[in-house]
Chain A
């Protein structure tokens, strides 16, 4: 992304986030134990500081005249995918789906499905290797955590059979 555009976007998002933050801070009820600064004092100050910095960044990028040199400042978009940001959002969706299904299918099954899905999404096409990875990763992590580290991973719908 061109630096100017990035700064402008950062400025706008910064203004929005800090405004919401200052509003949220104003909603905090003070405690009887609170000191002179108050519970919301420091967060409010930080909110205003970010608001001021965001406005400055926005104005700086807005007022700056486009320079010829910036033509060469175009971000070198990663060459692996035509839409790297879409790819990232897709991966995030797979991760979110994993978080959602763990309570139902349990960790071992979910992580197997997750590994296969991520590897396939990232470009792996060898079905045998994909299957092998999916089948190995779940039990391997389960053994490492449940037995070696004694941290019990969620069992989901299999809990009545496993007895946990």
Chain B
């Protein structure tokens, strides 16, 4: 009850409301720009949250994610160019509706489905997270170590399509995490004699480099973004009859979004396409799908907005970010000295409940801003790409400098951006690297602490029941990924 009241009190906090509205606005603009994913839009703001109060900063970042998911559907519907990956499924029927002169209706369906999805996801987040965190409170250091290994194996297996590639990326992240002081003795490691590396590499720099700088390096060599679309389109919210028809696909999207959201490595894009397919399967009018079906817009938009909240379940309860955007939010926690996970509910409950309250406001803000944002969005999408790239990079450099007022950080971010570009070139997934980096400390410190407890006996990791279960799950998941890889290869050969 106290938690509920705490969350409720945030609904009247001026700064939280302002952060939610600002985040949604930024997110819609970022999401509408093809090439700027929700995580990039969040990464661009991350350095600016350093001086903010923790709750406001996290609400701002989470609201960007909420706004970006709706923003991505605007160019998807109007100019057949998804602003975000998860809006790709919306293109299919959304743009067909636009071609038939129903762009306003499609955008209205997208907005309302996003709102319902976002609120449903928030409900799941509130109901599941704390109870999962309560279970994790009983974890021993050995169990924490195994949890870290499980998180790494899930992400390494699921996000790269290849266990080996995911494993290499995760090792790279761990290697970066080991730069700086040793967690037990304080001895400096891998600093190459640089004083700037004595405190290690801050996750925020890695995230900004990997997401924002890498994307700009990719965008500079790509063709201009599609332009066009009428800025005079007026958004029309669905009427009662249409709302009734859309209930089923929205519910399908909500269920699939929940499952995909809490599964690390899955994310909004998979959820959106799965929801689209299932909505078609369960529809009374499957023949309309692909030709401008309102249900084909509602299902994916509901699904990808559910994910904005449910992706935070593993992050808040266990400290494991399941998606790029959750990883950026984790960066937001870390720069404010907060470690997501079970202890967060004990140490800073006001931040968690503040985030819940902020997410609720963000969804309402999405509806209000979404009603009036169409023309400015299309204006932005139609700006020449070279100026946008230049402005984004200027923002990155200024933001990164502001974190520690150090030009060394700017240089480091460039280096990491280059690393990210190289990784993209050879198809190495980025998420395992980020996860390896943020879990590196947890894995190493708990491993060594466990061995101190057991007197150097490694059997502690299998005699501790929770640890044994988590390690077993990690082994099963890794074996499944390997088996799937081999099966897929055999299938492609035959």
Contacts and interface: CB of A to CB of B under 8 A. Distances in A.
Given A34-B185, A79-B223, A122-B390, A92 B414 contact: yes
B182 to A, nearest CB: 5
A28 B223 contact: no
A99 B414 contact: yes
A131 interface: no
Interface in A54-72: 54, 56-57, 60, 67, 69
Nearest to B217: A88
Contacts of B389: 118-119, 122
A115 B397 CA distance: 11
Interface in A103-129: 103, 107, 111, 114-116, 118-124, 129
Interface stretch (B78-86, B160-168, B308-316, B459-467): B160-168
B186 interface: yes
A96 B164 contact: no
Residue in B184, B187, B395, B443 whose Cβ sees the most chain A Cβ within 10 Å: B187
Contact of A114 (B184, B394, B401, B411): B394
B398 interface: yes
Contact of B407 (A37, A103, A152): A103
Contacts of B186: 31, 33
B164 A78 contact: no
Interface stretch (B241-249, B269-277, B286-294, B447-455): B447-455
B185 A46 contact: no
Contact of B221 (A6, A50, A84, A150): A84
B384 interface: yes
A37 B451 CA distance: 8
B164 A53 contact: yes
A153 B189 CA distance: 31
A102 interface: yes
Contact of B168 (A1, A54, A114): A54
B451 A35 contact: yes
B220 A99 contact: no
Nearest to A36: B456
Contact of A18 (B171, B218, B223, B451): B171
Interface string A19-52: 0010011001111111111011111001101100
Contacts of A10: 165, 168, 426-428
Interface size class of A (residues with CB under 8 A): 35 or more
B131 interface: no
B444 interface: yes
A9 interface: yes
Interface in B420-463: 421, 425-428, 443-444, 447-448, 451-452, 456
B51 A149 contact: yes
B490 to A, nearest CB: 12
A164 interface: no
Nearest to A6: B426
Residue in B385, B425, B443, B493 whose Cβ sees the most chain A Cβ within 10 Å: B425
B228 interface: no
B175 A46 contact: yes
B26 to A, nearest CB: 14
A154 B408 CA distance: 13
A153 B401 contact: yes
A43 B182 CA distance: 10
Given A10-B428, A114-B397, A47 B175 contact: yes
Residue in A29, A53, A54, A116 whose Cβ sees the most chain B Cβ within 10 Å: A53
A36 B407 CA distance: 39
Nearest to A9: B426
A157 B438 CA distance: 39
A160 interface: no
Nearest to A123: B386
Contact of B222 (A78, A95, A116, A153): A78
A28 B182 CA distance: 11
Interface of B is mostly: helix
Contact of B187 (A18, A39, A137): A39
Contact of B223 (A7, A78, A120): A78
B356 interface: no
A14 to B, nearest CB: 5
Given A28-B187, A42-B447, A115-B394, A49 B167 contact: yes
Contacts of A98: 397, 410
B385 A107 contact: no
A150 B405 CA distance: 11
A56 B165 CA distance: 10
Contacts of B410: 98-99, 102
Contact of B220 (A57, A91, A129, A150): A91
B177 to A, nearest CB: 9
Contacts of A88: 217-218, 220-221, 421
Contact of A102 (B165, B168, B390, B407): B407
A158 interface: no
Interface string B377-419: 0000000111101110111011001100101001100100110
30 contacts: A1-B427, A6-B426, A10-B427, A13-B426, A28-B187, A28-B189, A36-B452, A39-B184, A43-B190, A46-B171, A60-B164, A69-B492, A78-B218, A78-B223, A80-B223, A81-B221, A84-B218, A84-B222, A88-B217, A88-B421, A91-B217, A92-B417, A103-B407, A107-B398, A111-B397, A115-B390, A122-B389, A123-B224, A141-B394, A141-B398
Closest 4 CB pairs of A and B: A84-B221, A122-B386, A80-B223, A50-B171
Given A25-B190, A53-B171, 8 more contacts: A10-B168, A21-B190, A36-B451, A39-B185, A50-B175, A53-B164, A99-B411, A114-B393
Interface of A: 1, 3, 6-7, 9-10, 13-14, 17-18, 21, 24-25, 28-37, 39-43, 46-47, 49-50, 53-54, 56-57, 60, 67, 69, 78-81, 83-85, 87-88, 90-92, 95-96, 98-99, 102-103, 107, 111, 114-116, 118-124, 129, 133, 137, 141, 144-145, 149-154
